[in-house]
């Protein structure tokens, strides 16, 4: 069994928890079919993460993975 320290593995962000909640509320699901709502929410989350984490290399990886997922 492997023990992980989730807090140690977390990436630092410039966003507070309240700001994160407000940003997640801004997702527009009006044009999304019910089958794809989960994917749209995950994509929105990844967009927020990539824009706010302090590690620019990881942010670039997230942006690239979002682009590849859309294809």
- Residue-wise pLDDT for 19-39, tens only, equals 999 999 999 999 999 999 999
CA-nearest of 6, 7, 13, 5 to 58 is 13
Band (pLDDT 50/70/90 cuts) for residue 1 is confident
Other CB atoms within a 10 A radius of the CB of residue 48 amount to 19
Report pLDDT for 5: 79
Any idea of the CA torsion for 7, 68, 59, 20, to the nearest 10 degrees? -60
Band (pLDDT 50/70/90 cuts) for residue 2 is confident
Secondary structure percentages of the chain, helix, strand, coil, to 5 = 65, 5, 30
Alpha-carbon distance 50 to 15, whole Å? 11
List the chain domain ranges. 33-71
**pTM for the whole structure:** 0.79
């Amino acid at each position: 069994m492997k023990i992980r320290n989730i807090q140690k593995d977390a990436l630092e962000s410039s966003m507070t928890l309240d700001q994160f909640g407000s940003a997640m509320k801004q997702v527009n699901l009006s044009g999304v079919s019910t089958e794809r709502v989960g994917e749209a929410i995950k994509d929105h989350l990844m967009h927020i993460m990539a824009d706010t984490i302090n590690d620019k290399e990881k942010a670039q990886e997230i942006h690239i993975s979002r682009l590849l997922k859309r294809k």
